[in-house]
Amino acid sequence: MAKAYARPEKEGFVLVTFFYGDGLTTQSRYTDWDQPFLGHTSEPRMALSIPENEGTFDKRELRITLPQDIFTTRASSGVPHSPMYVIIEELTRGLFTGDQSSQKILYGGRITRTIRNFQGQNGRVAFFSLPIKSRLDVAMGLPCNHQCGWTLFHGGCGVTPVSVTGDIDSSDGTEITVTTLGVTTPGGTDAFYWKRGYAVKDGLRIAIRDYNGGVDTSKLYMARPVPIDWVGGLNDIQFVPGCDKTVETCIARWNGEEFFMGLGYAIPAYQPNFETPG
Residue 212 pLDDT > 90, yes or no?
no
Q: Which residue has the higher pLDDT, 3 or 179?
A: 179
Give a yes or no: residue 275 inside a domain: no
Backbone phi and psi for residue 265, each to the nearest 5 degrees, phi listed first? -60, -40
Q: Do residue 15 and residue 88 come from a single domain?
A: yes
- Do residues 122 and 53 lie in contact, with contact meaning Cβ atoms separated by under 8 Å? no
Residue 92 has, within 13 A of its CA and on its CB side, a CA count of: 16
Q: Which of 89, 118, 135 is the last residue of a domain?
A: 135
Condensed to tens digits (0 to 9), the pLDDT of residues 48-65 reads: 999 887 777 788 899 999
Q: Do residue 16 and residue 114 come from a single domain?
A: yes
- pLDDT value at position 97? 62
Condensed to tens digits (0 to 9), the pLDDT of residues 229-245 reads: 899 878 889 999 999 99
Condensed to tens digits (0 to 9), the pLDDT of residues 192-210 reads: 999 999 999 999 999 999 9
Residue 28 sits in a domain whose CATH number is 2.40.10
Q: How far apart are CA 62 and CA 16, in angstroms?
A: 12
- pLDDT value at position 57? 79
Q: Do residue 130 and residue 38 come from a single domain?
A: yes
Q: Do residue 14 and residue 131 come from a single domain?
A: yes
Give a yes or no: residue 252 inside a domain: no
- Residue 134 pLDDT level (bands cut at 50, 70, 90): confident
Q: Do residue 26 and residue 85 come from a single domain?
A: yes
Give a yes or no: residue 273 inside a domain: no
Q: Which of 94, 118, 135 is the last residue of a domain?
A: 135
Please state the rounded mean pLDDT for residues 241-250: 93
Please state the rounded mean pLDDT for residues 67-86: 93
Q: Do residue 21 and residue 111 come from a single domain?
A: yes
- pLDDT value at position 94? 62
Domain that holds residue 84: 10-135
Percent of the chain whose pLDDT exceeds 90? 58
End-to-end CA distance of the chain: 85
Q: Do residue 38 and residue 131 come from a single domain?
A: yes
Condensed to tens digits (0 to 9), the pLDDT of residues 145-189 reads: 889 999 999 989 999 999 999 999 999 999 999 989 888 888 667
Q: How far apart are CA 262 and CA 63, in angstroms?
A: 42
Percent of the chain whose pLDDT exceeds 70? 92
Rg, the chain, Cα only: 25
Q: Do residue 111 and residue 31 come from a single domain?
A: yes
Please state the rounded mean pLDDT for residues 256-263: 92
Q: Do residue 42 and residue 107 come from a single domain?
A: yes
Give a yes or no: residue 94 inside a domain: yes
Residue 92 pLDDT > 70, yes or no?
yes
- Residue 7 pLDDT level (bands cut at 50, 70, 90): low
**Residues in Cβ contact with 133 at an 8 Å cutoff, skipping those fewer than 6 apart:** 57
The total of other beta-carbon atoms located within 10 Å of residue 49's CB is 12
Q: Which residue has the higher pLDDT, 176 or 266?
A: 176
Give a yes or no: residue 263 inside a domain: no
- pLDDT value at position 249? 93
Give a yes or no: residue 144 inside a domain: no
Condensed to tens digits (0 to 9), the pLDDT of residues 21-35 reads: 998 999 999 999 989
Total domain count, the chain: 2
Q: Do residue 39 and residue 129 come from a single domain?
A: yes
Q: Do residue 131 and residue 170 come from a single domain?
A: no
Q: How far apart are CA 59 and CA 55, in angstroms?
A: 12
Backbone phi and psi for residue 46, each to the nearest 5 degrees, phi listed first? -65, 135
Give a yes or no: residue 90 inside a domain: yes
- pLDDT value at position 213? 80
Condensed to tens digits (0 to 9), the pLDDT of residues 99-117 reads: 566 788 999 999 999 999 9
Residue 6 pLDDT > 70, yes or no?
no
- The sheet with strand 204-210 has its strands ordered as 164-166, 237-240, 198-201, 204-210, 219-222, 175-177, 170-172
Give a yes or no: residue 143 inside a domain: no
Q: Do residue 106 and residue 34 come from a single domain?
A: yes
- pLDDT value at position 98? 57
Sign of CA dihedral 135, 137, 143, 147: negative
What separation in angstroms does the CA of 270 have from each of 3, 145, 267, 277?
72, 13, 8, 7
Q: Which of 117, 135, 153 is the last residue of a domain?
A: 135
For the chain, give the mean pLDDT: 88
